[in-house]
Amino acid sequence: MSADPARVLLLTDPAMERHAAAGHPERHERLAAVAKGIEAGAAAGGAELSVRAPQPADDEAITAVHDQEYLEALDQLDASGGGWIDPDTYLAPGSMHAARLAAGAAIDAALAVARGEVAVAFSVSRPPGHHASARRAAGFCLLNNVAMAALALRRAGHAQRIAILDWDVHHGDGTQAIFDDDPDLLYASTHQRPLYPGTGSPEERGQGTAAGTMHNLTLAIGADDDAFVAAWQDLLERVRAFDPEAILVSAGYDGHRDDPLANLAITEHGYRTVSAGITALTREFGLHGAALVLEGGYDLGALERSAAATVEGLLTGPSAAAPASSSPG
């Protein structure tokens, strides 16, 4: 008798498309591209895919990470018709509902994996979150989705020691700032440097009792799959030493060679190989799997192919290191 197929959960909601500004690279078509890729990756990995809408994050979940006054200011700006917070970051009417859904999707993804409901849960959501700090929106981000997911795991009693892995091409300065003094949260990031936001040097290691929990490896302009995979082999050894009880991934795909906003040369093969390495860790530690939260990535074809490769790599594990069905079509 064959084993039951692995399960993949895709969390998304069309209401997230209401967050919109003409000509902005972080556009709603990204969601459909990633969803199509997840579908292809689940099929390639022999998994059963389910899709559901998330519950919006409530104020308790949001204010576990963000100041109440900051949340109120965002809600007021949204209610007044929106506006630009900085040259990159805006609110439109409906943006805060989208942001609450994005936060809720990240939380639901983390909880679904922690409960053993699925092996892979992917929050296909926008606006992204890893540049948002406790009191500041920045870099297209309003609320820090992955940070809220991590703290939701703690509140629910599923995990105390949590690793957040961030392969977006930009350093997740918001996530690092939120957890910089938390000894039970490991943050590991690869990112292009020089590039916005200019943070994330290897010397940024955490504060006080959390010294040694922030792990930043920078990638030079033009860095390819070999450099990306080598960096993550190093970082995953650090994650292993940390002995996490849950693994969350800030999955940004703007390091892809086709992305218009950065200058790396990563391909689907790189994302597949690193994802397979993550699964090797989850198996070693007896975890149910990994939860992913969409961050950046602005070429639709690259998004689709990279999401497919990621899911396939997570499902297949280390045997997925060689290219297989990386293109959904």
pLDDT digits (tens, 9 = 90+) for 253-286: 999 999 999 999 999 999 999 999 999 999 999 9
Known catalytic residue at 215: no
Contact 295, 303 (CB under 8 A): no
pLDDT grade for 208, boundaries at 50, 70 and 90: very high
Q: Which two tokens stand for residue 28?
A: 């709603």
pLDDT digits (tens, 9 = 90+) for 287-305: 999 999 999 999 999 999 9
Q: From its phi and psi, is residue 82 left (phi > 0), alpha (psi between -120 and 50) or beta? A: left
What is the rounded distance in angstroms from the CA atom of residue 269 to the CA atom of residue 321?
8
Mean of all residue pLDDT scores within the chain: 96
19-24 — which CB contacts under 8 Å span 24+ positions?
19/92, 19/94, 19/95, 19/98, 19/99, 19/126, 19/127, 20/92, 21/90, 21/92, 24/90, 24/140
Q: Which two tokens stand for residue 279?
A: 């699964």
CATH of domain 7-321: 3.40.800.20
Counting Cβ atoms within 10 Å, is residue 112 exposed (0-12), middle (13-18) or buried (19+)?
Answer: buried
What is the rounded distance in angstroms from the CA atom of residue 251 to the CA atom of residue 274?
11
Look at residue 328 and tell me whether its pLDDT is greater than 80.
Answer: no
Task: Report the relative pairing of strands 83-84 and 246-251 from DSSP bridges.
Answer: unpaired
Q: Which two tokens stand for residue 177?
A: 């700032």
pLDDT digits (tens, 9 = 90+) for 17-60: 999 999 999 999 999 999 999 999 999 999 999 999 999 999 99
pTM of the model: 0.96
pLDDT digits (tens, 9 = 90+) for 88-124: 999 999 999 999 999 999 999 999 999 999 999 999 9
What pLDDT was estimated at residue 3?
Answer: 62
Task: Report the relative pairing of strands 90-91 and 83-84 from DSSP bridges.
Answer: antiparallel
What pLDDT was estimated at residue 159?
Answer: 99
Q: Which amino acid is at 2?
A: S
Q: Which amino acid is at 286?
A: G
What is the rounded distance in angstroms from the CA atom of residue 325 to the CA atom of residue 268?
10
What pLDDT was estimated at residue 325?
Answer: 37
Q: How far is CA 271 from the centre of its chain?
A: 13
Burial pattern 59-85, b for ≥16 Cβ within 10 A else e, equals: eebbbebbeeebbeebeebbeeebeeb
What is the rounded distance in angstroms from the CA atom of residue 52 to the CA atom of residue 64?
25
Q: Which amino acid is at 265?
A: A
Look at residue 12 and tell me whether its pLDDT is greater than 90.
Answer: yes
What is the rounded distance in angstroms from the CA atom of residue 92 to the CA atom of residue 83?
6
What pLDDT was estimated at residue 323?
Answer: 45
Given the residues 130, 131, 170, 215, the one annotated as active site: 131
What pLDDT was estimated at residue 81?
Answer: 96
